[in-house]
Chains A and B, each alone.
Chain A
Amino acid sequence: MKNNSFEKAKTAFLQTRSHRGLFTVTAILSVVYFYVIAFTFPVGVSLLFALLIAGEIFHVYQVLSFIFTTWDTSYLHKRDPSFTPHVDVFITVAGEEADIVEETTRAVKNMTYPDFSVYILNDGYVAKKENWKEAEDVAEKLGVFCITRKTPGGAKAGNINNALRETGWGEGNGLVAIFDADHIPHADFLSKTATYFFDPKVAFVQTPQFYRNFAKNYITRSAWEQQELFFGPICRGRNRFNGVTMCGTNMVLRRDMLCSVGGMSEDSIAEDFLTGLLLHEKGLTSVYVPEVLAEGLAPEDFLSYSKQQFRWARGGFDALAFGFLSRRHLSLAQKFQYFSSISFYFSGLVVVMNALIPVIFLYTGMIAFTVSTMFLAAIFLPYIFLTLYMIQLSSNFSFTFRALTFSMGAFTIHIKAIWAAITREKSSFQVTPKKQVEGNFVSLVIPHIAYIVLVLGGIPIALMREGFSASFIANIAWAALMVGVFVPSIYAALPSGAKSHSKHVARTVDKSVSVSV
Chain B
Amino acid sequence: MENEVKKTEAAPSWISTDFPIILMLMLFAALLSIVFFREQSLRLDESQSIWQTSRTVMGMLSLVGKDVHVPLYHLILHTWQIFLGNDVAVDRLLSLVFFLLSIPAIYSLGAICYGRKTGIFVAALLTLSPFMNWYGNEIRMYSMFVLVAILHEYFFVKIWKRGDFMDWFWFALVSVCGMYTHYFFFLLVLCDMIFYFFHKEIFPKDAFKKFFKIGIFLIVCFLPWALFVIYLGGISSSEPALTAPSTVDLFNTFSQFLFGFQTDHLNTILVSLWPLTVFLGFLALRKGKGMAPETLYFLIVFLLPNVIAFIVSLTLSPIYLTRYLIFTIPSMYLFLGWLFSTYPKTLSLAVKCILIALMAATLVFEGVSASTPVKENYEEASTFLERNASASDIIVVSAPFTIYPMLYYYRGPATLTTLPIWNQEANGPIPAYSKDELVKDVATLEANHSNLWLLLSYDQGYQKDVELYFDTHYQKLYSDEFSPGLTLYEYKLRY
Contacts and interface: CB of A to CB of B under 8 A. Distances in A.
Contact of A377 (B251, B283, B290): B251
Interface string B265-294: 100110111111111011111111111000
Interface string A451-479: 00000000000000000111111100110
Given A377-B274, A477-B273, A480-B276, A384 B288 contact: no
A83 interface: no
A485 B268 CA distance: 25
Contact of A468 (B265, B271, B277, B290): B265
A477 B279 CA distance: 9
Contacts of A477: 272-276
A401 B250 CA distance: 28
Contact of A388 (B248, B272, B274, B281): B281
A397 B281 contact: no
A472 B275 CA distance: 12
Nearest to A405: B282
A405 B272 CA distance: 23
B285 A388 contact: yes
Interface stretch (A52-60, A248-256, A368-376): A368-376
Q: Determine which residue in B278, B281, B285 has the highest number of CB atoms from chain A within 10 A of its CB, and name it.
A: B285
A2 to B, nearest CB: 15
A401 B286 contact: yes
Interface in B236-281: 246-248, 250-251, 265, 268-269, 271-279, 281
Given A225-B287, A400-B287, A468-B269, A485 B282 contact: yes
B285 A381 contact: no
Given A374-B248, A384-B278, A399 B285 contact: yes
B245 to A, nearest CB: 11
Contacts of B265: 468
Contact of A401 (B269, B273, B274, B282): B282
Contacts of B272: 373, 470-474, 477
Contacts of A478: 275
Contacts of A400: 285-287
Given A225-B287, A388-B285, A401-B285, A374 B275 contact: no
Nearest to B272: A473
B16 to A, nearest CB: 29
B247 A474 contact: no
A404 B250 CA distance: 29
A397 B290 contact: yes
Contact of B275 (A398, A469, A481): A481
Question: Contact size class for A?
Answer: 35 or more
Contacts of A472: 272
Contact of B269 (A377, A381, A473, A480): A473
Interface in B201-242: none
Nearest to A474: B272
Given A468-B269, A474-B272, A477-B274, A374 B281 contact: no
Contact of B274 (A225, A392, A474): A474
B289 A397 contact: yes
Interface string B343-367: 0000000000000000000000000
Contacts of B269: 468, 473
A385 interface: yes
A28 interface: no
Interface string A381-393: 1001100110011
A356 interface: no
B288 A374 contact: no
A122 to B, nearest CB: 38
A404 B285 contact: yes
**Chain B interface mostly:** helix
A471 B272 CA distance: 8
Contacts of A403: 285
Contacts of A126: none
B288 A397 contact: yes
B278 A481 contact: yes
A381 B278 contact: yes
Contacts of A471: 272
Interface string B370-401: 00000000000000000000000000000000
A392 B250 contact: no
Nearest to B310: A378
Contacts of B271: 373-374, 470
Nearest to A358: B275
Contacts of B273: 473-474, 477
Interface string A179-211: 000000000000000000000000000000000
Interface in A245-277: none
A256 B277 CA distance: 55
A485 B278 CA distance: 11
Nearest to B344: A401
Contacts of B251: 374, 377-378
A469 B265 CA distance: 8
A484 B278 CA distance: 11
A320 interface: no
A330 B435 CA distance: 75
A405 B285 CA distance: 11
A215 to B, nearest CB: 11
A392 B287 CA distance: 9
Contact of B290 (A392, A404, A470, A481): A392
Given A378-B251, A392-B290, A398-B287, A404 B275 contact: no
A12 interface: yes
B231 to A, nearest CB: 41
Given A225-B287, A384-B281, A468-B269, A372 B276 contact: no
A484 B285 CA distance: 14
A378 B275 contact: no
Q: Determine which residue in B247, B273, B282, B287 has the highest number of CB atoms from chain A within 10 A of its CB, and name it.
A: B287
B274 A372 contact: no
Nearest to B290: A397
B282 A381 contact: no
Nearest to A392: B285
A399 B288 CA distance: 9
A372 B248 CA distance: 8
Contact of A470 (B268, B289, B291): B268
Contacts of B277: 381
Contact of B250 (A378, A385, A470, A480): A378
A359 to B, nearest CB: 14
A473 B251 CA distance: 15
B288 A12 contact: yes
Interface string B445-470: 00000000000000000000000000
Nearest to A221: B287
A373 B274 CA distance: 9
Nearest to B252: A374
Nearest to B277: A381
Q: Determine which residue in B248, B274, B288 has the highest number of CB atoms from chain A within 10 A of its CB, and name it.
A: B274
Nearest to A468: B269
A259 B55 CA distance: 96
A12 B289 CA distance: 12
Contacts of A484: 279, 282
Contact of B268 (A378, A388, A473): A473
A431 B283 CA distance: 33
Contact of B287 (A373, A397, A480): A397
Nearest to B251: A374
Nearest to A471: B272
B230 to A, nearest CB: 37
Contacts of A399: 285
Given A374-B247, A374-B250, A468-B269, A404 B282 contact: yes
A517 B212 CA distance: 56
A480 B268 contact: no
5 contacts: A373-B271, A378-B247, A470-B272, A477-B274, A485-B279
Closest 6 CB pairs of A and B: A473-B272, A477-B275, A378-B247, A374-B247, A470-B272, A397-B290
Given A470-B268, A470-B272, A481-B279, 7 more contacts: A225-B287, A372-B246, A401-B283, A403-B285, A477-B274, A481-B275, A485-B282
